[in-house]
């Protein structure tokens, strides 16, 4: 959005109930166009979207370029299946008995569905409770972390303890032995690179080493994926799905031969953390609007609401940032507050109580959990609105 459009939008938003979350449809569509043109099918990471109308809009415009949905809760997956979506990879295992009936229900619908696992213990537990005569497809997640000194240094996330081709094979053999599950593919998510910013103004000391970590991780994970693929194929198994990546890695994972598809979601909204990557360039498409309600001192205003801090490693880069008018800054001692957010205002900006300020969240989907409805804007005007997962009553966590 250029300045005249954001000015117009902020003016029109005075008529809306605020706080409100907003998606700029033109920017969203441009981001989607870029995303699907990296060169491999994309599995949309729904946790980073959390609006079914957005999932529908993006996938229906490029149906041949998406391989399905990477979901994060079984209740959400079931709701998407009921809404007509198909082809799900539940990428975060659930073992709760209360989720099993939803798991079985979705498998029994005949829709394409598989769930990630990474241990024999999980398969044992599922085996004990699985009563459907239909087999559940399981995708094995292999750890894509960068581990040095025999694992003493672990750069990455703690998701899976599966690290070798032999461990993968033993999980597949275990699935076969139960006759309730079938091997549905592999996932290696190199989170330490996908989430690695290298021009992060909030972590300027770490920026120089980010590139080193990226190069080492990239080399290691490409080798690991190729080794696992050839070993498992040599044992006679077909790998119909091999998922990797995230929005932060799209520029190189798209060229990787082992992968059948890429996972991505955040690229569509481009929250402010995605400004700090030198290797990918998307456009801000998601904002939230707050109303200025008070002004305690010259050069300061205070907005209603705004304390939407993102998950992950705590730090200033997880806090939302003011976006428009330009030049506004958070007050360090308060940040974005539980019920109000003070800002410093530069001399060339005039803001009065009743005016509107646009912000960007640090991450993509989480902001949708704060609102029942999202406003769609185009050319600085609200053109439509849709329910978020929360507005639809879709239970996640
Ligand atoms: C398994 C997996 N793949 C990919 C992603 C990347 O998603 P995004 O593109 O939204 O960063 C995530 C996000 O955490 C994930 O958990």
Q: What is the pLDDT of residues 16-62, one digit of tens each?
A: 999 999 999 999 999 999 999 999 999 999 999 999 999 999 999 99
Q: Residue 379 above 90 pLDDT? A: yes
Q: Give the pLDDT score at 56.
A: 98
Residue 209 above 90 pLDDT?
A: no
Which residue out of 140, 193, 265 has the highest number of ligand 1 atoms within 8 Å of its CB and is therefore the one to mutate? 265
At 368, is the pLDDT very low, low, confident or very high (cuts 50, 70, 90)? Answer: very high
Over residues 354-370, mean pLDDT:
98
- Which residue puts its alpha carbon closest to atom 12 of ligand 1? 246
- The mean of the pLDDT values for the chain is 95
What is the mean predicted confidence (pLDDT) over 368-384?
A: 97
Q: What is the pLDDT of residues 224-278, one digit of tens each?
A: 999 999 999 999 999 999 999 999 999 999 999 999 999 999 999 999 999 999 8
Instruction: Tell me which of 200-214, 251-265, 324-338 is least confident.
Output: 200-214
CATH T-level fold of 25-268: TIM Barrel (3.20.20)
Q: What is the mean pLDDT of residues 210-232?
A: 92
Across 76-93, average pLDDT: 97
- Structure tokens belonging to residue 292: 């200025």
Beta bridge partners of 153: 148
Tell me what pLDDT residue 197 has.
86
pLDDT tens digit sequence for 108-120? 999 999 999 999 9
In CATH terms, the fold of domain 286-392 is Lyase, Ornithine Decarboxylase; Chain A, domain 1 (2.40.37)
- What is the mean predicted confidence (pLDDT) over 354-365? 98
Q: Which residues in the chain are classed under CATH 2.40.37.20?
A: 286-392
pLDDT band for position 213 (50/70/90)? confident
Mutate to test the pocket of ligand 1, among 42, 245, 253, 263 (most ligand atoms within 8 A of CB): 263
Is residue 325 reached through a cis peptide bond, with omega within 30 degrees of 0 on the bond before it? yes
Position 345 pLDDT exceeds 90 = yes
Rg of the chain taking only CA atoms, in angstroms: 22
Ligand 1: centre distance to CA 191 (Å): 8
Whole-angstrom Cα distance, residue 207 to residue 204? 5
Q: Is the confidence at residue 161, as pLDDT, over 90?
A: yes
pTM over 0.75: yes
pLDDT at 214 over 90: no
For residue 263, how far is its CA from the centre of ligand 1 (angstroms)? Answer: 6
Q: Tell me, what's the pLDDT at 150?
A: 84
Give residue ranges with CB within 6 A of ligand 1: 45, 48, 91, 189, 194, 246-247, 263-267, 364
Contact 287, 358 (CB under 8 A): yes
| CATH 3.20.20.10 domain span(s) along the chain | 25-268
What is the reported pLDDT for 153?
Answer: 87
CA–centroid distance, residue 8 to ligand 1 (Å): 34
CA distance 298 to 169: 67
Contact 269, 286 (CB under 8 A): yes
Which band of pLDDT confidence, cut at 50, 70 and 90, is reported for residue 285?
Answer: very high
Smallest CA-to-CA distance from 291 within 194, 358, 361 is with: 358
Is the CA virtual torsion 44, 48, 54, 55 positive or negative? positive
Instruction: Using DSSP, state whether 134 is helix, strand or coil.
Output: coil
Quick one: pLDDT at residue 356?
98
Q: Counting atoms of ligand 1 from 1, which one is nearest the CA of 248?
A: 11
Distance 246 CA to ligand 1 centre (A): 5
State both tokens at 283.
């456009």
Predicted pLDDT at 237: 97
């Amino acid at each position: 959005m250029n300045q005249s459009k954001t000015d117009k939008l902020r003016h029109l938003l005075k008529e809306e109930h605020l706080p409100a979350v907003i998606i700029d449809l033109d920017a969203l569509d441009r981001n989607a166009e870029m995303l699907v043109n990296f060169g491999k099918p994309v599995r949309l990471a729904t946790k980073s979207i959390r609006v079914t109308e957005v999932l529908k809009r993006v996938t229906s415009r490029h149906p041949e370029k998406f391989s399905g949905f990477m979901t994060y809760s079984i209740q959400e997956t079931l709701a998407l299946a009921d809404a007509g979506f198909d082809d799900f990879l539940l990428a975060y295992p659930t073992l709760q008995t209360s989720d099993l009936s939803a798991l079985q229900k979705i498998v029994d619908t005949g829709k394409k569905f598989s769930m990630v696992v990474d241990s024999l213990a999980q398969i044992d537990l599922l085996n004990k409770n699985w009563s459907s005569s239909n087999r559940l497809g399981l995708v094995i997640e292999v750890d894509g972390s960068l581990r040095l000194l025999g694992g003493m240094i672990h750069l990455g996330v703690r998701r899976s303890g599966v690290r070798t081709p032999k461990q993968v094979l033993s999980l597949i053999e275990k699935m076969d032995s139960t006759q309730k599950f079938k091997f549905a593919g592999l996932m290696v998510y190199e989170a330490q690179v996908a989430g690695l910013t290298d021009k992060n103004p909030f972590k300027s000391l770490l920026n120089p080493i980010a590139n080193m970590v990226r190069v080492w991780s990239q080399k290691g994970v490409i080798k690991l994926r190729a080794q696992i693929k050839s070993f498992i194929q040599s044992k006679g198994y077909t790998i119909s799905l091999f998922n990797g990546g995230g929005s932060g890695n799209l520029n190189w994972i798209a060229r990787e031969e082992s992968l059948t598809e890429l996972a991505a979601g955040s690229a569509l909204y481009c929250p402010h953390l995605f400004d700090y990557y030198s290797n990918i360039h998307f456009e801000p498409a998601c904002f939230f609007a707050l109303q200025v309600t008070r002004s305690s001192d010259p050069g300061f205003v205070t907005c209603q609401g705004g304390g939407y801090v993102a998950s992950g490693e705590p730090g200033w880069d997880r806090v939302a940032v003011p976006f428009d008018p330009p030049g506004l800054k958070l007050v360090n001692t308060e940040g974005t507050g539980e019920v109000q957010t003070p800002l410093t205002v530069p001399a060339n900006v005039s803001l009065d109580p009743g005016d509107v300020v646009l912000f960007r969240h640090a991450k993509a989907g989480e902001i949708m959990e704060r609102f029942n409805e999202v406003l769609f804007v185009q050319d600085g005007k609200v053109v439509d609105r849709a329910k978020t997962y929360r507005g639809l009553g879709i239970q996640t966590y």
